[in-house]
Structure 1
Amino acid sequence: METVAESAVGTPHLSLTPYVERYSGYRYLGFAPGIHRGLPSGSLTFIVSVGPAIDVAVHTDPTRAPRSYRAVLSGLQATSALISHSGDQEGVAIHLTADGCRALFGLPAGGLWDTSLELNEVVGRTGDELWERMQYAATWDERFAACDAVLRRLVIDNPLSAELRRAWRLIVASGGTWPWPTWRARSAGAGSTWPGGSPSSSGPGTDLVYVVCEDPDALFARATAAGAEVVAGLKDEGYGNRGVSVRDLEGNLWSFGTYAGE
């Protein structure tokens, strides 16, 4: 049998672009049976199979039993999964943005961390509908259109706050090295409100502040002389920061550092 290796890329409907980066279609037919390694990536795994199911032999959580999926939804992960196949693999991968999990499924991405679910376990009969429509679509354009039609109906009016959107962009842009105090202070900005309260709205002793400065050593000396408690001593970090963290007399946490971000 002649082998087939084919791929296609689709752009989601304009209304879905905040939630879906792109669609990636794949078709591999006539190859020898084997094991495919599903590597960790920067987006949640959301794949709808066409034809043979997706057989996960080893989940990212090794305590989970092997399972087959028609449409699989998985969270971010730190390890690989192993997918067995008969030599034929076909389907569409839906690349979600940081907002996509909450907007389409009503739950934060962390709720799917290191786990895999059949789509219908999350969205009910609509998950089966998407899989069925994909089986009868004859072209990649028709398959991408089926994704558009079903996903647009799933969108929930539950937008992320502007602060969380900015925080996510800062983390991604820094390659995951952006320190927590830095991006919280930077992403919040003046007058902003975080879920559960702004960085300065929860009462005395609950603030978390990062101050970019040229001489953290001098600020450290002044703070400790005024009675501040040392939380983390002066240290040079691998991402180019020299900084220190102290707690003031009211219990607020202050971090001083030279790193201002990209």
Structure 2
Amino acid sequence: MLEWGLLVALGFVAAAFGSIVGLGGGIIIVPSLVLLGPALTGEAIGHPTAVGTSLAVLIVTALASTLAYAKRRKVDFRSGWLLFAASGPSAMIGSALTAQLRNGTFQLVFGCFMLLMAALLVARDYIRPIRRQWPVWRTIAEADGTAYTYGYAVVPMLAVGCAVGAVSGLFGIGGGSLFVPVMVLLFGFPPHIATATSMFVIFLSSITGSAVHAWLGEIDYLLAAALLPGAWIGGRLGAYIAGRMSGKGLLWLLRLTLIALAAQMIVEGAAAK
């Protein structure tokens, strides 16, 4: 009973935090399941199962937060569908490759990836978003009347979607750790719009990625069932909190989270070698 309570709490914390920073919660669920498997379930959880289970839970987390963001008109659905056109298929490819990484290698690669994302977000303070005449311009007006204008080109957006989808399927993290900084730095998305749109794309790509893991038998449905209630509540609460935070606060929270989790995963990966 205690283990189920811990899993519900893990789902809630991961979803709430993931929704705030636009990561979807997988970046907390996957390392938690891998590192704390014996304490949570009484036995070790392999990384393919952790990734597959995380993606299954991400469907619920991302849906809950997307609905909450949509009520405040923070989701750019047109841009989201464009990103998913590339990220959906590549998420399936990444999911099929997860089992090819051994445990120690998985932790090391995952940790280094998170450090790279943290460095990119730190560099954001010293790098101005690219300003150019993009062929596609978008204007989003939030529920409170605040309007934002930004632009992009279709081919770079598809390339970003393809890369992020592969990472999403491989690591089970939803891809928000790549989507948000790239959307902010390259295309000038406001952090709140990037976070909300990222959650929408995570919802769609998690469906395709988890379908592959389900086909490969890499989803623990009991674990997912325990994580889902907290994930639904946490996803909606995280979106609510994010709507009341500044863009700068969101980015700092994301940076610190990535650095802390990356350090833990690298240490564990090196120890497993």
TM-score, normalization: structure 2?
Answer: 0.22
Instruction: Report the structure, 1 or 2, having the larger helix content.
Output: 2
Instruction: Report the structure, 1 or 2, having the larger strand content.
Output: 1
* Larger Rg belongs to: 1
TM-score, normalization: structure 1?
Answer: 0.23
Higher relative contact order (CA 8 A, sep 6+): 2
